Copies of this chain bind each other. A is one copy, B any other.
Amino acid sequence: MSYTIKDVAKKANVSIATVSRILNAQSGYSEKTKIRVLQVIEELGYQPNAIARGLINKRTHTIGVLFPKLSSSLVTDLLDGIEKAAGISGSSVIVCHTEYNGEKTLKYLQLLSEKRVDGIIFASEVLREEYYQFLKKSNIPIILLSTESPSFSIPHVKVNDFHAAYSAASYLIEKGHKNIGMISGNKEDMIAGKPRIEGFQKALADAHIPLSEENVVYKKGFSFPDGVEGLKELLKQFPSVTALFAASDEIAIGALSAAYHLGIKVPDELSIIGYDNLNIASMSIPPLTTVSQPLKEMGETAAGMLFKLLETGKAPNSILMPHQIIERFSVKERI
């Protein structure tokens, strides 16, 4: 089928050891034999077998990435960054789509482990006890991305959701708003749900703005439909609202859409700030003001941490990435 190092050795009249040395840029051969071997390699179109290399080196130069979702800009931007960093380090990335399914996740973990990936990046999902136990038993390095683990000590990279939400709400307050509502995602979600709610509440409290149960409506997810339903519910329970913090851009766009159909002008009658800064944020009418997470950078950073961990062997510190308010046109000063 494909040529082996043996074929090269034979044709170049050297031993496989010499070929190997040349391939790995070690020392122990003359310049003359080097060019001859290289010549033969070129002629044959020889490609070293990474599988055989992996078997002996115990390094596959492949990492695995677990995502709960694939068809979302949020998560593929992370992938974009991971792939970039991996490419630079000469590694490839295997993507696994868990769909938030425990069984599937475990199956993938098993698969990745059997394939002897060098490490794993676990993204945007809570790391369950069972996953952790498996990883620990399999002894395979892991980095958490856009999520964190309260119970286990695993390095992660994410933004501080509490602070980011605090910033968003504060931004609304600075703009003169006092009747501020929120459409939150799942409040049981300890990563993206609860912290954002609490950040929001803290900002209002610090500004001495009265806050009651009417201020926030809790949805199951972070999707467009959640946003359209959410706004309707919010309007019902908190009619005087003039500004809204949406826990995700999709929710914000949903709210935008609902407002349009309700004849509510954004931002004149209602200001809306989103969360994530997906590419759709700049495509809405009006373009969405939002707090951005540097998704791609986060992916790069996580992969970078993993590779450093692989080299040095010592656990890196977690990294909190900066968030930033991207001002567009969905928020208006209230006078």
The verdict on A50 contacting B256 (CB below 8 Å), with A2-B139, A137-B45 known, is no
**With A and B bound together, what is the CA distance between A279 and B97 in angstroms?**
19
Task: Give the Cβ gap from A305 to chain B, nearest Cβ, in Å.
Answer: 20
Q: Which of B48, B55, B83, B94 contacts A97 (CB 8 A)?
A: B83
Q: Which of B49, B80, B250, B282 contacts A114 (CB 8 A)?
A: B49
Interface size class of A (residues with CB under 8 A): 35 or more
Contacting pair A92 B84 (CB below 8 A): no
Q: Is A5 an interface residue (CB 8 A)?
A: no
The verdict on A283 contacting B60 (CB below 8 Å), with A51-B115, A116-B51 known, is no
Contacting pair B76 A114 (CB below 8 A): no
Q: Is A315 an interface residue (CB 8 A)?
A: no
Q: Is A240 an interface residue (CB 8 A)?
A: no
Q: Is A47 an interface residue (CB 8 A)?
A: yes
Q: Which of chain A's residues 277-297 have a Cβ closer than 8 Å to chain B?
A: 279-280, 282-285, 296
**Residue numbers in B under 8 Å from A110 (CB-CB):** 47
Contacting pair A70 B62 (CB below 8 A): no
Task: Give the Cβ gap from A277 to chain B, nearest Cβ, in Å.
Answer: 12
Looking at A83, A92, A104, A110, the one whose CB has the most chain B CB atoms below 10 A away is A92
Q: Is A138 an interface residue (CB 8 A)?
A: yes
The verdict on A77 contacting B71 (CB below 8 Å), with A50-B116, A115-B50 known, is yes
Looking at A48, A54, A70, the one whose CB has the most chain B CB atoms below 10 A away is A70
Q: Which of chain A's residues 201-260 have a Cβ closer than 8 Å to chain B?
A: 224, 250, 253-254, 256-257, 260
Report the nearest B residue to A53, measured CB to CB.
B114
Contacting pair B49 A51 (CB below 8 A): no
Q: Which of B70, B76, B114, B282 contacts A50 (CB 8 A)?
A: B114
Contacting pair B93 A95 (CB below 8 A): yes
Q: Is A87 an interface residue (CB 8 A)?
A: yes
**Residue numbers in B under 8 Å from A47 (CB-CB):** 110, 113-114, 138
Q: Is A191 an interface residue (CB 8 A)?
A: no
- Chain A 115-126 interface 0/1 with B at a Cβ cutoff of 8 Å (1 = within): 110000000000
Q: List 11 A-B contacts (CB under 8 A).
A: A45-B137, A47-B138, A48-B114, A51-B115, A64-B92, A71-B77, A71-B279, A87-B97, A92-B94, A224-B283, A280-B280
Q: Is A79 an interface residue (CB 8 A)?
A: yes
- Chain A 68-81 interface 0/1 with B at a Cβ cutoff of 8 Å (1 = within): 00111100110110
Task: Give the Cβ gap from A144 to chain B, nearest Cβ, in Å.
Answer: 20
Q: Is A52 an interface residue (CB 8 A)?
A: yes
